[in-house]
Amino acid sequence: MLEGKKILLGVTGSIAAYKVAILVRLLIKAGAEVKVILTPAAKEFVSPLTLSTLSRNPVLMDLVNDDTWQNHVLLGRWADIMLLAPLSCNTLSKMASGTCDNLLMAVYLSATCKVAVAPAMDEDMWLHPATKRNLQIINNFGNIVLPVDSGELASGLIGEGRMMEPAVMADWLKNYFSTGMPLSGKKVLVTAGPTYEPIDPVRFIGNHSSGKMGLAIALELEKRGAEVTLIVGPTSLDIPDYINTIKVQTAAEMFDVCVDLFPHVNIAVMSAAVADFTPVISAQEKIKKSDADLSIAFTKTKDILKYLGENKKLNQLLIGFALETSDEENYAKKKLIEKNADLIVLNSLKDEGAGFGYDTNKITIFDKLGNTHYFDKKSKKEVAVDIVNSIIQIL
């Protein structure tokens, strides 16, 4: 949900500065671009090397480095949000008074983006009227003041003033960016790729699904503010870290994960090409070549889409896929009813450039009200936009 978001993280001199290493890691994992500015005092608490390694960007500390001037105005314009964490009492006071004596303050005073702060100080400083006044002043400037936690403080005393935990801060940022987005607050499960059904330890029955369509849908849903879990069969896809991914091999494993997750999601998009049959017996040892022919007995796998359709609650949406080679529309409409789905996305193998392995697809979407929507051949990324638009429409 933070994919491509530019976060400028200002770190000031507080013992809580060591925790920003975890925060930076979480933000990068969530897909954000992070640049870190340290005040001179912050360097005493956290190493620039740690933060430059984790943020994958040089850590900025000085307005002038040798003969190079740091363009503080552009930094404030680069960012989608500037977050000062931890915010010390001293930097808070400078923000309130407009003091410009280091790079962080120069960037703050010229920043055109939203500014948020996560204060960290001992309780007595936190409760001092000067602190309260300064917080009120920066709040009036339009800065967002995040709440502090209670607990053990650097002084050893117990009280208010601990910096908000990094994981909570990362969640706050995700919410900040997704608020107002059409799928904000929605949890979505997406299945993608093939399943491999083992014959013996080295052989399997599979199919040509690349998982590209499912991944494109997961990325698009995430972009529109949804919290996505991608359940993916064996693929060579490069899945970004910020997509919460569960890897499975077989139809049975995919079934178990979907059944566990389904009660906790609002929407399920079943784009995986799940095997319909699996070998009755998977040999423990490699099957040796012999003169006789080999016959393998297959049994049906559990139909995940059908199971979810039977267990769907009124406030849940279920989207299924249909891949057909003949009489496509009738089969797709039949699937919509039989599987109790809200949408069926049909791709026909008859359409050139559509289906397994291609970067393009041509779909038709059938909804429960009897509407049929035809789409042109497009890139899978654009097809994902059409599918997510249809989901948003029926929400």
Of the candidates 319, 322, 311, which has an alpha carbon nearest to the alpha carbon of residue 274? Answer: 322
Interface with ligand CTP, residue 189, by CB under 6 A:
no
CB 173, min distance to ligand CTP, A: 33
Q: Of 88, 131, 143, 301, which lies in the binding site for ligand CTP, with binding defined by CB under 6 A?
A: 301
What whole-number distance in Å separates Cα of residue 168 and Cα of residue 175?
10
- Considering beta carbons, is residue 251 or 354 the nearer one to ligand CTP? 251
Q: Which residue is nearest to ligand CTP (CB)?
A: 304
Paired residues of 198 in beta bridges: 204
Toward ligand CTP, which CB reaches closer, 178 or 348?
Answer: 348
**Distance in Å, CB of 287 to ligand CTP, minimum:** 25
Q: Which is nearer to ligand CTP, 87 or 190 (CB)?
A: 190
Residue closer to ligand CTP, measured from CB, 135 or 274: 274
Binding mask 238-277 vs ligand CTP (x if CB under 6 A, - otherwise)? -------------x------------------x-x-x-x-
Token pair 């956290």 is found at 46
- Whose tokens are 């120069």? That residue is 106
Strands of 274-342 (E only): list them: 277-279, 298-300, 317-324
The reply to whether 320 sits near ligand CTP by the rule CB under 6 A is: yes
Catalytic site residue 244? no
Whether 352 contacts 376, CB under 8 Å = no
Cis peptide before 86 (omega within 30 of 0): yes
Q: Burial letters for 40-71: b for 16+ Cβ neighbours within 10 Å, e otherwise?
A: ebbeebbebeebbebbeeebbbebeeeeeebe
| Pure H helices in the chain | 20-29, 48-55, 72-78, 89-97, 103-110, 123-127, 129-140, 166-178, 212-223, 251-261, 304-310, 328-338, 380-394
Residue span 190-209 as binding mask against ligand CTP, x where in contact by CB under 6 A, dash where not: -x------------------
Contact 320, 304 (CB under 8 A): no
Binding status of residue 304 toward ligand CTP by CB under 6 A: yes
- Active-site hit among 57, 71, 90, 207: 207
Q: Which is nearer to ligand CTP, 75 or 322 (CB)?
A: 322
User: Residues interacting with ligand CTP, by CB under 6 A?
Assistant: 191, 251, 270, 272, 274, 276, 301, 303-305, 320-323
- Active-site residues, by number, are 207
